[in-house]
Amino acid sequence: MRVGEGSVTIEHADTQSEISTAAVVWVGGVRVNPLVEKLQVEKARNGLIKVRPTLQILAHDNVFALGDIAFVDDVEPALAGTAQLAFQESSLAARNVKALLAGEELQTKHFEELGEAVSLGTERAALLTGGKAFGGPLARQARFALYTSRLPTWHHRLRVSASWFFGGTAPRPLLPLGFQR
């Protein structure tokens, strides 16, 4: 395959065809990690590790799988294979590892599409939530708020917010309280 300024050339059955285009969007396939392929555990047809609703793999109670190596039944179809699913699974996995170590009951969760957000340049974004799409500068503000709310610590949130507020210029480093450089 070859991509040119106004066309794409593809080859099929030893024949090359050039197709005129206004734009090209590449969507690559997803392949299971070779290490996962070698594991001797039960897998779904797509090669992902089958897990219980608790994210434990079927053959071993003390092993959890999540993200793009795990096949979970209770997931909305549009969510499978996304970072959003892995993010939702991470909370459940952390709770369940803690519960397993404490001898407590493990939890399950139904994973739902929470929406999508994409930056479109420096001043706009697009959001999809509740089946409705929004765009423009206000969507960029909302995307930024969603993005920063998912950062792991207040320190990260403050630092990213300061950088964004100052237009990408580097603010003075934030230090934990009581520490000096």
Q: What percent of the chain has pLDDT over 70?
A: 87
CA distance 99 to 49: 22
* Cα 82–Cα 91–Cα 97 angle in degrees, nearest 5: 120
Q: Is the pLDDT of residue 56 over 80?
A: yes
C-alpha closest to that of 55 among 43, 46, 67:
67
Q: Is the pLDDT of residue 32 over 90?
A: no
Sort 67 into a burial class: Cβ within 10 Å, 0-12 / 13-18 / 19+: middle
| 93-112 pLDDT per residue, tens | 999 999 999 999 999 998 88
C-alpha closest to that of 121 among 148, 147, 143, 146:
143
pTM of the entire predicted model: 0.61
User: What is the structure's pLDDT at 58?
Assistant: 94
For residue 129, what are the contacts with CB-CB under 8 A and spacing of at least 6? 114, 115, 116
Sort 52 into a burial class: Cβ within 10 Å, 0-12 / 13-18 / 19+: middle
Q: Are 96 and 106 in contact (CB under 8 A)?
A: yes
User: What is the structure's pLDDT at 77?
Assistant: 72
pLDDT band at 55 (very low <50, low <70, confident <90, very high): very high
| 129-181 pLDDT per residue, tens | 777 888 888 888 888 888 888 788 888 888 888 887 776 655 455 555 554 55
H helix or E strand, kind and range, residue 50: strand 49-50
For residue 144, what are the contacts with CB-CB under 8 A and spacing of at least 6? 125, 164
